Chain A
Amino acid sequence: MKPKLHYFSVGLIATWLGVFGLLSFLLMVVISFLQQDPDHIALPYFTFQNYIDLLDPMFLKIFIKSFYVAIIVTGGCLILGYPFAYILSRLPEKLQNISLLLLLLPFWTSSVVRSYAMMSLLKTKGLLNTLLLSMGIIHQPLQILFTPTAVGIGLIYNLLPFMILPIYVNLERFDIALIEAARDLGAKWTTVFRKVIIPLSMPGIVGGATLVFLPSMTLFFISDLLGGAKSLLLGNLIENQFLMANNWPRGAATSVLLTLIMGAGLLMYWKRTKNKEAEHEAFL
């Protein structure tokens, strides 16, 4: 006898995700192939125009800029986060707990609130400039707010834990005996780092990079607050198409493209890890 509760629960989630997940994504894809119309959502004529439009130099420039920002932000998070994760994973357990709590504490508040905090720090008359001026390091206030630099800082500030945590989880399981063995066999510290620690923590690095890279292309509100009127990220482009330009089909096409980029990235990652696993099994 098949239990009724089971039908109920599977039916419930299938309906919910079917409507709000699957159907909404499908509608987005459909809209991206329809003709634009300022008064309605779209006109029911099939067209590739929305995708062809994205090849326009103006949009391509935003794409490249957004990619560039995402690479810088991911690199910045990695450089700042890796040593932190390494040190964290080597601390005694009690200290580790407290350090983790301190790391995550700010991230339980809304990211808008954190971005606003960064905004007031970087202002022309904000704390940073006031401090630097009074210490005599600079003689004129730095114009950081409303520049791409500010957006980069804001993104790193918001995304750093997403880089640290996967690397930390990976390094925590790392067998310290491997380092000792390498050292005993005469490897220098730099060699140990390059040939043992980094390769073994690669899954953590890749995981962290995926978690940082995608949001740093799409978190439009950070660029809105810290970058001023310049739309810097792919997320701003999508936001504008929907809320300002009222060109939903083009906005939908941009989103579809973004999803495809994400899908390709993930597929690559899976293939690589699968190959690695296969190699590993063959080796055993």
Chain B
Amino acid sequence: MKRSFKFIYMLLIYCFLYIPIAALIGYSFNNTEYSMLWQGFTTNWYRDVLHDSNLWVAVWHSFYLAIAASSTALLIGTLAAVSLCRYEFRGKSLLRGLLFVIILTPDIVLGIALLILFSLGSLALGFWSLYFAHVTFCIPFVVVIVLTRAKGIDPNIFAAASDLGANEIQLFWRIIVPMLLPAILSSALLCFALSFDDIVISYFVSGPGFEILPIKIFSMARLGVSPKLNTLCSLLFFMTFIIVCFSHWFTQRRKA
């Protein structure tokens, strides 16, 4: 294939990916409520969004839900991955199968199954239902990432530590966790993003008392396009871009 053709093809795909985002950011600075034509530059919409306390409540909810859910998932997932790697126990293959099934089931099915469980268990839909749901869909990702890394560790290291008198707890905190740290960190980042962005599962298990950001955006978007929503989404794009670029730069630097 010709070089120029390759270049143009890639450019077209990137245009497809980025034009909607760029347009949205452009609109967020547009000084008009209804028209899509350019009416001059303004930052009023940003002021509106920054002063909307309802919105910030949803942001805050999403944030602490993501922190709580990903730290719990990290704890359970890391312990599970270490056990799966080091020990033989009954039901090991069942556990593996279950983790696999949870990753592969469509989100909507998991959402509904959890909704049924919570309703039958009379758990009110709110923070706790979201928390249980988010931890559940995050755990398998932590296990997969950490397990892959754990399998690469030489088991003789554990034997050596035990011979030198380390007990299981010491072994876990002072040998295993430091060696798995890169995998734990990257699964933390993934869990946070998954939890912060999830819509399908959250849609079924969230209640009116505890509103989170994706659900709020979804219900606003159903009413149509508005400058305020343009601005909110642009802000989210900016935030994501900064975080992703920073973490990319960070990992690249570490490699070098």
A238-B197 in contact given A20-B117, A110-B217, A121-B20 (Cβ < 8 Å) = no
Contacts of B250 in A (CB 8 A): none
Report yes or no: A9 in contact with B83, Cβ–Cβ below 8 A: yes
Cα–Cα, bound, A3→B168 (Å) = 7
A104 contacts across to B, CB distance below 8 A: 244
CB<8 Å pairs between A and B, sample of 12: A9-B82, A20-B135, A21-B101, A27-B116, A103-B17, A113-B237, A116-B233, A219-B200, A235-B200, A239-B108, A259-B106, A262-B106
Given contacts A10-B83, A116-B217, A214-B106, A41 and B119 within 8 Å (CB-CB): yes
Q: Is the CB of A114 within 8 A of B9?
A: no
Q: Name the one of B114, B135, B217 contacting A113, with C-beta atoms under 8 angstroms.
A: B217
Which residues of chain A come closer than 8 Å to B119, judged between CB atoms?
41
Secondary structure at the B interface, as helix, strand, loop or mixed, is helix
Q: Interface size (A, Cβ < 8 Å)?
A: 78
| Chain B residues close to A by CB (< 8 Å) | 1, 6, 9-10, 13-14, 16-21, 23-24, 27, 35-37, 76-77, 79-80, 82-83, 86-87, 89, 91, 95, 98-99, 101-102, 104-110, 112-117, 119-120, 132-133, 135-136, 139, 143, 168-169, 172, 193, 196-197, 199-200, 203-204, 213-214, 217-218, 221-222, 225, 229-230, 233, 236-237, 240-241, 243-245, 248, 252
Q: What is the predominant secondary structure among interface residues of chain A facing chain B?
A: helix
Chain A residues 213 to 241 lying within 8 A of chain B, measured CB to CB, are 214-215, 217-221, 224-225, 235, 238-239
Q: Which 10 A-B pairs have the closest CB atoms?
A: A9-B79, A110-B197, A24-B113, A117-B20, A13-B80, A24-B117, A3-B168, A20-B136, A28-B113, A5-B168
Kindly provide the distance from the CB of B37 to the nearest chain A CB, expressed in whole angstroms: 7
Q: Do A238 and B108 touch (CB < 8 A)?
A: yes
A87 & B18 in contact (Cβ 8 Å cutoff): no
**Which of B16, B105, B139, B222 is A224 in contact with, Cβ under 8 Å?**
B222
Alpha-carbon distance A258/B112, docked complex (angstroms): 12
Residues of chain A contacted by B197 (CB below 8 angstroms): 108-112
- Rounded to whole angstroms, the CA-CA distance of A238 and B115 in the bound complex is 13
CB interface residues, A 88-105, toward B, < 8 Å:
88, 97, 99, 101-105
Smallest beta-carbon distance A281→chain B, Å: 23
Alpha-carbon separation in the docked complex, A225 to B233 (Å): 15
Q: What are the residues of chain B within 8 A of A125 when measuring CB–CB?
A: 35-36
Q: Is A120 an interface residue (CB 8 A)?
A: yes
Docked CA distance A15–B197 (Å)? 26
Assess whether A6 is in contact with B83, with CB atoms less than 8 Å apart.
Answer: yes
CB proximity of B137 to chain A, nearest CB, Å? 9
A266 / chain B contacts, CB cutoff of 8 Å: 104
